[in-house]
Structure 1
Amino acid sequence: MMEMIQTFMTKVKERDHLRSLLNNADSLMVRFICGQQNIDIFLKNGECTLLYNPSGNFKQCEIYGDIETIKQLLTGEGKLRSLMKNGRLQVMASFRTLLLLEALFYLSKIEKKSYQII
């Protein structure tokens, strides 16, 4: 799961439109919980970083799910609220935070290029 999250964070750092989306966000810690494994990321000022010892005053969001569902979320194959509606993910966050994360996960998805032969 750590590799998937690091890939996601790399995509966020590489894409200017995602960094600008985070510029307008308050400090936010997102905790991914999958079985016994917890991974925390911190979003602030256009940056997305890994947290090893979380502490401080910031909003917190927790996302619970199995590894496959979290992979779908991080790769953009599944939408956050759809996965929640289907009961595959549980998320503890404000509605505003949900919308921010929905946009962030969806916009960071892997682009599938299609080519047209003329």
Structure 2
Amino acid sequence: MMEMIQIFLIKVKERDHIRSLLNNEDGLMVRFICGHQNIDIFLKNGECTLLHDPSENFTECEIYGEIETVQQLLSGERKLRSLMQKGRLQVKASFRTLLLLEALFYLTKIDTKSYRII
């Protein structure tokens, strides 16, 4: 799971047109919850970074699901709202945040054939 997140972060940094979506002053913390594993990323001022100690209070979004489902989301293979409608993901966020994340995940489509994901 962590490898997929790191690949996602690299793809966001490589694509300037995506970074413009992340120009927000307040920042947004997104927490992926897969079983007992929590991974936090932070989106602010055109950057997307991994948080190792999410002790600060930022606007939060939580995405709950199985590892395989979250990997499908991060790779752009499946869309966020589609996975939510099918009951494969649960998301705690405002509608505006959902739309931002939908665009971000879809536009960063990862070619999983060129990466080895365990």
TM-score by length of 1: 0.90
Q: Distance in 1 between matches of 2:87 and 2:7?
A: 25
Deviation digits for residues 1-59 of structure 1 (CA, Å, limit 9, x no counterpart) = 00000000000000001111111464000000000000000000000111111122310
Q: 1:109 to 1:80 in 2, by over 3 A?
A: same
Q: Which runs of 5+ in 2 are unaligned?
A: 112-118
Per-residue Cα deviation, 1:61-88 (whole angstroms, up to 9, x for no partner): 0000001100100000000000000000
Do residues 10 (structure 1) and 10 (structure 2) align?
Answer: yes
Query: 1-side partners of 2:54 and 2:24: how far apart?
Result: 22
Number of residue-to-residue matches in the alignment: 112
SS in 1 for 2:43: strand
Alignment of 1:26-105 (within 5 A): 26-105=26-105
RCO comparison, higher one (Cα < 8 Å, 6+): 2
Cα distance, 1:94–1:58 mapped onto 2, change above 3 Å: same
* 2:8–2:110 contact (8 Å) kept in structure 1: no
Q: In 1, Cα distance between the equivalents of 2:25 and 2:103?
A: 12
Structure 1: runs of 5 or more not aligned: 112-118
What percentage of residue pairs aligned between the two structures are identical?
Answer: 80
